[in-house]
């Protein structure tokens, strides 16, 4: 392995890392927003929305992200909708992640015993207060391990972005290999950079998880 | 005497299954009414109707003159007048004892936090749990949890308190401490409607016994002692017999 090669590639990898993190985090935020509102809609049994979400979840969980990205990137412009590769990546990640997040949060919401909302209601709380103060916080601590697993899964899924020419880590590595054929160095850096990105997220995740779950489940 | 809770011709059914038939009952301020009856007789459902947790198919329920109607918007205002303690698992597990107690008075009644905390600590002290104020429910015994639930209900300053088999899920040695708390409450003149299987407690605390069977009130007795010695109806006699070993 050539150290000089490694050193010269680092700025490119740094840039790619930033892009990966940016699109990844924005995608995850989108997924989270979809997940929360979708799960709430299912929880409150909103008639038509519930059906639509069912179809959405099945569609996005049962097709690969790669196919979804191709569809968004190549098919949508044909329908007259033109979006940048970056937006496309964020949207794709948000949509597949949203489907997973809905399922994770939904199971959390439905795991809360009915007497919880009944005792909150009997204290004079409104439905909205019951949801935000009683049900949601508990559902979060139940769903937290699943949410964290989704976050890490989604960050790794960003590697698919390279297929729509988004200059993420994967793309940068493949590109450099193609140009200079320093395969070992490029792949080595690729592994290191994914670890740099994901290890802190993992650690942060378990800290948050412990925090959120302490009240109900102890250490 | 003013009648605080009034129930007229209450009818409740789940589909074709009629669970409450033409229930009429009124409870005066300061009265302690104990409802007893076999399992599945509708007594818990009746309590749940009183604070609008169940929709009813007929009749009228009023608390302090206001109708209890679950689908109406102001139901939460009426529920503030009605405290309820459930069989179990009704403390909020993600909040500490003190947070459980003060949440609704602050959130719902918009009372000043410091005042509510002070009052909560006084009440917790009365039930012997002041030192547990920062504990989470999972760190408490069943009996302690139920006493916190009672404190939480009291902090809302309700006009009437409903107790739905609050000792049914407890170990025998925990039952006593909870019943004692309730008995002290009764002495202070609180209006209470209690569903219980603890006959000795019912005898000690009740101003009036209401015996439910198969969804209707079979017997109502103001002479509590007499009811337990010689009930008027055959069904009540049979029911009371199941508690005696011979």
Which string of DSSP letters, residue by residue, matches A83-125?
Answer: --HHHHHHHHHHHHHHHHHHHHHHHHHHTS-HHHHHHHHHTT-
From CA B17, how far away is CA B10, in angstroms rounded?
15
From CA B38, how far away is CA B34, in angstroms rounded?
14
Predicted local distance difference test score (pLDDT) of residue B224? 86
pLDDT tens for residues B75-85?
Answer: 989 999 999 99
pLDDT tens for residues B115-124?
Answer: 999 999 999 9
Asked if B159 contacts B3 with a C-beta cutoff of 8 angstroms, the reply is no
Predicted local distance difference test score (pLDDT) of residue A3? 86
Predicted local distance difference test score (pLDDT) of residue A131? 95
Residue A56 has pLDDT above 80, yes or no: yes
Give SS3 for A44: coil
Predicted local distance difference test score (pLDDT) of residue B157? 93
Provide the pLDDT confidence category of residue B169 given band limits of 50, 70 and 90. Answer: confident
Of B53, B89, B156, the CB nearest to A113: B89
Residue B29 has pLDDT above 70, yes or no: yes
Query: Angle formed by the axes of helices B97-107 and B142-154, to 10°?
Result: 20
pLDDT tens for residues B180-226?
Answer: 889 888 888 899 999 999 888 998 899 999 999 999 999 998 988 89
Mean pLDDT of B21-42: 92
Q: Which of B47, B70, B92 to mutate to test the interface with A (most CBs of A within 10 A)?
A: B92
Run of H or E residues at A80: none
Mean pLDDT of A16-26: 94
Predicted local distance difference test score (pLDDT) of residue A98? 96
From CA A16, how far away is CA A193, in angstroms rounded?
9
The whole-angstrom distance between A33's CA and the closest CA on chain B is 23
Predicted local distance difference test score (pLDDT) of residue B70? 85
Provide the pLDDT confidence category of residue B172 given band limits of 50, 70 and 90. Answer: confident
CB burial of residue A4 (10 Å; 0-12, 13-18, 19+):
exposed
Predicted local distance difference test score (pLDDT) of residue A146? 94
Mean pLDDT of B113-133: 94
Asked if B217 contacts B25 with a C-beta cutoff of 8 angstroms, the reply is yes
Question: Which phi and psi (to 5°) does residue A49 adopt?
Answer: -55, -40
Mean pLDDT of A113-122: 93
Asked if B38 contacts B239 with a C-beta cutoff of 8 angstroms, the reply is yes
Cβ–Cβ below 8 Å for B94 and A138: yes
Say which range, A10-14, A77-81, B18-22, B97-101, has the weakest mean pLDDT. A77-81
| A119 inside 8 A of chain B by CB | yes
Supply angle C-alpha B129, B130, B133, rounded to 5.
95
Share of chain A above pLDDT 90, in %: 73
Provide the pLDDT confidence category of residue B246 given band limits of 50, 70 and 90. Answer: low
Provide the pLDDT confidence category of residue B1 given band limits of 50, 70 and 90. Answer: low
Predicted local distance difference test score (pLDDT) of residue A79? 85
- pTM for this model (two decimals): 0.88
Give which of B90, B47, B40 is closest to B68, Cα–Cα.
B47
The whole-angstrom distance between A32's CA and the closest CA on chain B is 22
Mean pLDDT of A180-191: 91
The whole-angstrom distance between A101's CA and the closest CA on chain B is 22
Cβ–Cβ below 8 Å for B156 and A124: yes
Of B53, B83, B109, the CB nearest to A121: B53
Bridge pairing between strands B216-221 and B66-67 = unpaired
Predicted local distance difference test score (pLDDT) of residue A1? 79
**Full 3-state SS string of B35-79:** EECCCCCCHHHHHHHHCCCCCCCEEEEEECCEECCCCCCCHHHHH
Mean pLDDT of A56-69: 93
- Say which DSSP state B30 is in: T
Most confident of A35-44, A83-92, B231-240: A35-44
Residue A18 has pLDDT above 90, yes or no: yes
pLDDT tens for residues A154-167?
Answer: 999 999 988 888 88
Mean pLDDT of A74-95: 89
Predicted local distance difference test score (pLDDT) of residue B209? 94
A72-75: list long-range contacts, CB under 8 Å, 24+ apart. A73/A164
Predicted local distance difference test score (pLDDT) of residue B163? 94
CA A113 to chain centre: 28
């Amino acid at each position: 392995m050539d150290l000089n090669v490694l050193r010269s590639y680092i700025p490119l990898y740094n840039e790619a890392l930033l892009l990966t993190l940016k699109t990844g985090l924005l995608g995850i935020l989108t997924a989270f927003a979809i997940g929360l509102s979708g799960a709430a809609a299912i929880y409150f049994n909103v008639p038509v929305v519930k059906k639509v979400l069912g179809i959405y979840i099945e569609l996005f969980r049962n097709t690969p992200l790669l196919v979804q990205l191709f569809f968004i990137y190549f098919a949508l412009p044909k329908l007259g909708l033109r979006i940048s590769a970056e937006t496309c990546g964020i949207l794709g990640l948000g949509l597949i992640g949203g489907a997973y997040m809905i399922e994770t949060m939904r199971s959390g919401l439905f795991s809360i015993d009915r007497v919880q909302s009944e005792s909150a209601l009997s204290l004079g709380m409104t439905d909205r207060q019951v949801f935000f103060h009683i049900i949601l916080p508990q559902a979060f601590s139940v769903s937290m391990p699943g949410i964290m697993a989704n976050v890490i899964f989604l960050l790794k899924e960003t590697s698919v972005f390279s297929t729509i020419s988004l200059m993420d880590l994967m793309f940068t590595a493949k590109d450099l290999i193609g140009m200079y054929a320093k395969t070992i160095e490029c792949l080595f850096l690729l592994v290191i950079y994914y670890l740099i990105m994901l290890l802190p997220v993992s650690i942060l995740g378990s800290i948050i998880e412990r925090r959120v779950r302490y009240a109900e489940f102890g250490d | 005497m003013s009648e605080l809770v009034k129930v007229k011709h209450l009818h409740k059914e789940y589909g074709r299954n009629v669970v409450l038939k033409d229930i009429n009952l009124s409870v005066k301020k300061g009265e302690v009414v104990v409802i007893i009856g076999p399992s599945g007789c509708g007594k818990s459902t009746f309590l749940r109707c009183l604070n609008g947790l169940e929709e009813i198919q007929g009749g009228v329920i009023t608390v302090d003159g206001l109708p209890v109607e679950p689908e109406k918007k102001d139901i939460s205002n009426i529920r503030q007048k009605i405290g309820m303690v459930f069989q179990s698992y009704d403390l909020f597990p993600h909040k500490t004892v003190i947070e459980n107690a003060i949440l609704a008075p602050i959130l719902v009644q918009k009372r000043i936090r410091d005042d509510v905390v002070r009052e909560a600590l006084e009440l917790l002290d009365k039930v012997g749990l002041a030192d547990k104020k920062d504990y989470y429910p999972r760190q408490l015994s069943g009996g302690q949890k139920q006493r916190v639930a009672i404190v939480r209900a009291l902090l809302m300053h309700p006009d009437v308190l409903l107790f739905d088999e609050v000792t049914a899920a407890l170990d025998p040695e925990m039952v006593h401490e909870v019943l004692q708390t309730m008995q002290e409450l009764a002495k202070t003149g609180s209006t209470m409607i209690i569903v219980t299987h603890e006959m000795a407690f019912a005898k000690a605390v009740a101003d009036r016994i209401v015996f439910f069977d198969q969804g209707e009130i079979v017997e109502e007795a103001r002479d509590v002692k007499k009811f337990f010695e010689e009930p008027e109806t055959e069904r009540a006699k049979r029911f009371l017999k199941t508690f005696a070993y011979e």
